[in-house]
Amino acid sequence: QVQLVESGGGLVQAGGSLRLSCTASGRIFSNSAVSWYRQAPGRQREPVATIGSGGNTNYADSVKGRFNIYRDNAKNTVYLQMNSLNPDETGVYYCKLSWSLTWGQGTQVTVSS
């Protein structure tokens, strides 16, 4: 079993930046694609960015050019660098392995206007 822990959220003003971290237990992390999701208040959880086991990345159109997903397999960690944040990007951010239906506890991001 793999367990994921998200951290790095907080309160930031519009235009500010945050770096989120997703740290996994287990030995299969390096061979897994990992995605970051956001659940805004009253909305469904939606994908923000994905990184494959080979380092390939995909981003939601709304965050392209502003967000960067990268991984450090030695630390079993995937990061999401978020720049130029908008208030509508407020929400709880979760990471998940591509094959898993299990979520971590999430980390709250609040962007004030």
Residue 1 pLDDT grade (very low, low, confident, very high; cuts 50, 70, 90): confident
**For residue 32, is pLDDT > 80?**
yes
Phi, then psi, of 35 in degrees rounded to 5: -120, 145
Tens digits of residue pLDDT in 63-95: 999 999 999 988 999 999 999 999 999 999 999
Q: What percent of the chain has pLDDT above 70?
A: 99
Residue 101 pLDDT grade (very low, low, confident, very high; cuts 50, 70, 90): confident
Summary count for the chain: helices (H), strands (E): 0, 10
Q: What percent of the chain has pLDDT above 90?
A: 81
Which has the minimum average pLDDT: 39-43, 52-56, 75-79, 100-104?
100-104
Structural element, H or E, at residue 39: strand 34-39
Residues 6+ apart with CB under 8 A from 66: 82, 83, 84
